[in-house]
Amino acid sequence: MDIDVREIINIPKIQSMGEALFAATGIASAMVAINGEMLTRSGWRAACTQFHRNHPEAFQACKKSNILVRDGLLEGKKQVVYTCPHGLIGAAAPIIIDGNHVANIITGQFFFHKPDEKEWHFFQEQTEKYGFDKKAYLEAISKIPVITEDRLDSIMDYLSRFAEIIEELGYANLKSKKIEKQFDLPRDVAENPVLERAGPLHAGTCGFNESDQRYNNLIDNLPDILYRFCEKKGFFFVSNRVERILGYRAQYLTENPFAWKESIHPEDKKSVERALSKAKKEGFFDISYRIKDAKGNWHWFRDRSISIFEKAGEFIIEALASDITQRVKVEKALADSQRQLTDIIEFLPFPTWAIDNESRLIAWNRAVERLTGVEKKAILGKGDYAYAVPFYGEARPILIDLILKRDEQWEKKYISIEEEEDIPMLSVSFHPLLGEQGRYLAGAATKLYDAQGNIVGAIETVRDITDQRKAEEKLKRSNQDLEHFAYVASHDLQEPLRAIVGFLQLLEKRLGDQLDEKGKHYINRSVKAGHRMQKMIQEMLTLSRVNTKGGTFKLADLNIIIQKTLDDLHSIIDQKKPRITCAKLPTVNVDADQIRSLFQNLILNAIKYNESDTPVIEIGSRDDGKYYRFFIKDNGIGIEPMFHKRIFLIFQRLHTNKEYPGTGLGLALCKKIVERHAGTIWVESRPQEGSVFYFTLSAKR
Partner 1 sequence: MTGINSIKPANVLLVEDNEDDIELTLEALKESKLHMKIHVVTDGISAMAFLRRDGEHSDKPRPDLIFLDLNLPLMDGREVLKQIKADQNLASIPVVVLTTSEDEEDILKAYELHANCYVTKPVDFIKFSELIKQIEGFWLQLVKLPHKGL
Q: Name 181's Cβ contacts closer than 8 Å, sequence gap at least 6.
A: none
Asked whether 587 and 610 are in contact (CB, 8 A), the reply is no
DSSP characters over 614-681: S-EEEEEEEE-SSEEEEEEEE-S----GGGTTGGGSTT--SS-TTTS---S-HHHHHHHHHHHTT--E
Q: What is the 3-state secondary structure (H, E, C) of 594-628?
A: HHHHHHHHHHHHHHHCCCCCCCEEEEEEEECCCEE
Pairing type for strands 579-582 and 616-623 reads parallel
Per CB under 8 A, the list member of 173, 494, 680, 698 interacting with partner 1 is 494
Per CB under 8 A, the list member of 83, 534, 547, 652 interacting with partner 1 is 534
Per CB under 8 A, the list member of 325, 466, 538, 652 interacting with partner 1 is 538
Report in angstroms how near the CB of residue 499 gets to partner 1 at its nearest.
Answer: 3
Integer CA distances (angstroms), 19 to 16, 111, 156, 493, in order: 5, 21, 17, 125
Give me the phi and psi of 302, to 5 degrees please.
-110, 125
CB nearer to partner 1: pick between 510 and 518: 510
Which range touches partner 1 (CB under 8 A), out of 52-60, 93-101, 304-312, 493-501? Answer: 493-501
CB nearer to partner 1: pick between 593 and 659: 593
Report in angstroms how near the CB of residue 506 gets to partner 1 at its nearest.
Answer: 6
Q: Is cis: bond before 340, omega within 30 of 0?
A: no
Question: Applying CB under 8 A, does 528 fall inside the site for partner 1?
Answer: no
Report in angstroms how near the CB of residue 524 gets to partner 1 at its nearest.
Answer: 12
CB nearer to partner 1: pick between 255 and 483: 483
Neighbours of 186 (CB within 10 A): 6
CB nearer to partner 1: pick between 271 and 534: 534
CB nearer to partner 1: pick between 382 and 676: 676
Task: List binders of partner 1 among 197-226 (CB under 8 A).
Answer: none
What string marks each residue from 44 to 83 as x (binds partner 1 by CB under 8 A) or -? ----------------------------------------
Question: Applying CB under 8 A, does 525 fall inside the site for partner 1?
Answer: no
CB nearer to partner 1: pick between 370 and 531: 531
CB nearer to partner 1: pick between 215 and 503: 503
Per CB under 8 A, the list member of 114, 280, 332, 549 interacting with partner 1 is 549
CB nearer to partner 1: pick between 446 and 538: 538
* Residue 249, CA atoms < 13 Å, CB-side half-sphere: 22
Number of residues that bind partner 1 (CB under 8 A): 22
Distance CA 417, CA 391 (A): 17
Asked whether 379 and 387 are in contact (CB, 8 A), the reply is yes
Per CB under 8 A, the list member of 506, 529, 583, 649 interacting with partner 1 is 506
Which range touches partner 1 (CB under 8 A), out of 30-38, 155-163, 504-512, 657-665? Answer: 504-512
CA 380 centroid distance within chain: 22
Question: Applying CB under 8 A, does 499 fall inside the site for partner 1?
Answer: yes
User: Helices 134-142 and 117-130, interaxial angle, to 10°?
Assistant: 140
Cα angle: 61, vertex 200, 304; to 5 degrees: 70
- Taking Cα atoms as reference points, which of 275, 369, 375 lies closest to residue 315? 275
Distance CA 608, CA 661 (A): 9
Question: Applying CB under 8 A, does 663 fall inside the site for partner 1?
Answer: no
- Taking Cα atoms as reference points, which of 649, 667, 543 lies closest to residue 603? 667
CB nearer to partner 1: pick between 184 and 495: 495
CB nearer to partner 1: pick between 104 and 490: 490
CB nearer to partner 1: pick between 378 and 529: 529
Report in angstroms how near the CB of residue 511 gets to partner 1 at its nearest.
Answer: 13
Which range touches partner 1 (CB under 8 A), out of 120-128, 390-398, 478-486, 494-502? Answer: 494-502
Q: Would you put residue 373 in left (φ > 0), alpha (ψ -120 to 50) or beta?
A: left
Asked whether 110 and 144 are in contact (CB, 8 A), the reply is yes
Report in angstroms how near the CB of residue 494 gets to partner 1 at its nearest.
Answer: 5
Distance CA 698, CA 677 (A): 7
Per CB under 8 A, the list member of 503, 522, 651, 660 interacting with partner 1 is 503
Question: Applying CB under 8 A, does 523 fall inside the site for partner 1?
Answer: no
CB nearer to partner 1: pick between 68 and 541: 541
What string marks each residue from 618 to 657 as x (binds partner 1 by CB under 8 A) or -? ----------------------------------------
Neighbours of 236 (CB within 10 A): 20
Beta bridge partners of 448: 457
Question: Applying CB under 8 A, does 536 fall inside the site for partner 1?
Answer: no
- End-to-end CA separation in angstroms for the chain: 60
Asked whether 672 and 540 are in contact (CB, 8 A), the reply is no
Q: Would you put residue 361 in left (φ > 0), alpha (ψ -120 to 50) or beta?
A: beta
Which range touches partner 1 (CB under 8 A), out of 129-137, 241-249, 444-452, 533-541? Answer: 533-541
Secondary structure class of 45 (helix, strand, coil)? coil
Report in angstroms how near the CB of residue 515 gets to partner 1 at its nearest.
Answer: 16
What string marks each residue from 574 to 593 as x (binds partner 1 by CB under 8 A) or -? --------------------
Per CB under 8 A, the list member of 274, 491, 525, 564 interacting with partner 1 is 491
Residue at 322: amino acid letter: S
Report in angstroms how near the CB of residue 540 gets to partner 1 at its nearest.
Answer: 12
Secondary structure class of 324 (helix, strand, coil)? coil
Integer CA distances (angstroms), 196 to 38, 201, 214, 216, 596, in order: 20, 9, 14, 10, 101
Question: Applying CB under 8 A, does 541 fall inside the site for partner 1?
Answer: yes
Per CB under 8 A, the list member of 173, 505, 526, 547 interacting with partner 1 is 505
CB nearer to partner 1: pick between 280 and 525: 525
CB nearer to partner 1: pick between 10 and 538: 538
Report in angstroms how near the CB of residue 501 gets to partner 1 at its nearest.
Answer: 5
Secondary structure class of 570 (helix, strand, coil)? helix
Per CB under 8 A, the list member of 181, 278, 474, 498 interacting with partner 1 is 498
Q: Calculate the dihedral angle through the C-alpha atoms of 524, 529, 531, 537, rounding to the nearest 10 degrees.
A: -170
Per CB under 8 A, the list member of 180, 184, 191, 495 interacting with partner 1 is 495
Question: Applying CB under 8 A, does 489 fall inside the site for partner 1?
Answer: no
Question: Applying CB under 8 A, does 547 fall inside the site for partner 1?
Answer: no
Distance CA 262, CA 304 (A): 18
Which range touches partner 1 (CB under 8 A), out of 210-218, 299-307, 326-334, 500-508? Answer: 500-508
Question: Applying CB under 8 A, does 485 fall inside the site for partner 1?
Answer: no
Footprint of partner 1 (CB under 8 A): 487, 491, 494-499, 501-503, 505-506, 509, 527, 530-531, 534, 538, 541, 545, 549
